[in-house]
Structure 1
């Protein structure tokens, strides 16, 4: 099993960050650009990967009371992940994303995963900033 984790500080209350991250209709705005989510009967979702042009059955659960989103492949059980939002004071939050690959054949490699996580966290921060800025003014 291979695991990866990245974190990023965001200038918003944890509830605002979590609400943006967990919004199923807007997840495509911060997920890796090649991935697209189609929500079925939650927690069941389908993830389409433009890079491979494949659909994968997955599960997605958002737990607002814990400020946590968890996901993973449904049929083959080769991949899981979670996103955790934590308040760090002064109106800021830290967002951590963790990925676990249970098969080397599904692991795209450290550089690719770190790049995807960093980009996704940056895109999430942009969405959070847009929402906070629009709410403020």
Structure 2
């Protein structure tokens, strides 16, 4: 099993960050650009990966009381992940994303995953900033 984790501080309340991160209709705005989530009968979703042009049955669960998203492949069980939002005071939050690859064939490698995590967290922060700025003004 291979695991990866990244965190990023965001200048918004944890509830605002979690609401943006868990909005199923807007996941494509912050997920890695080659992944697209199509919601079925939640928690069932289908993830399309441009790189392989494959659709993978997956599960996505939002746990608002814990400010946590959890996901993973449905049938193969080769991959899981979670996103956790925590308040750190002064109206800021820390977002942590953790990925676990149980099947090495699903793991694109440390460089690719690290880049995708950093980019995704940056894009999530941009989406949160847009939402907070629009709400304030």
Considering the TM-score relative to the shorter chain, is it more than 0.5?
A: yes
Could you say which residue in structure 1 is the equivalent of 2:117? 117
1:77 partnered with 2:80 = no
- Runs of 4 or more, structure 1, over 3 Å off, are none
Distance 2:97 2:23 in 1: 16
Could you say which residue in structure 2 is the equivalent of 1:132? 132
Q: CA RMSD in A?
A: 0.3
Q: Could you give the per-residue CA deviations for residues 35-76 of structure 1, whole angstroms, max 9, x where no partner exists?
A: 000000000000000111000000000000000000000000
Distance 1:10 1:94 in 2: 6
| SS of corresponding position for 1:51 | coil
1:11 partnered with 2:11 = yes
- Listed as ranges, the matches of 1:1-137 within 5 Å are 1-137=1-137
Aligned residues: 137
Distance 2:6 2:12 in 1: 18
Deviation of the 1:106 alpha carbon:
1.1
| SS of corresponding position for 1:52 | coil
Which blocks of at least 5 consecutive residues in structure 2 are unaligned? none
Deviation of the 1:103 alpha carbon:
1.3
| SS of corresponding position for 1:130 | helix
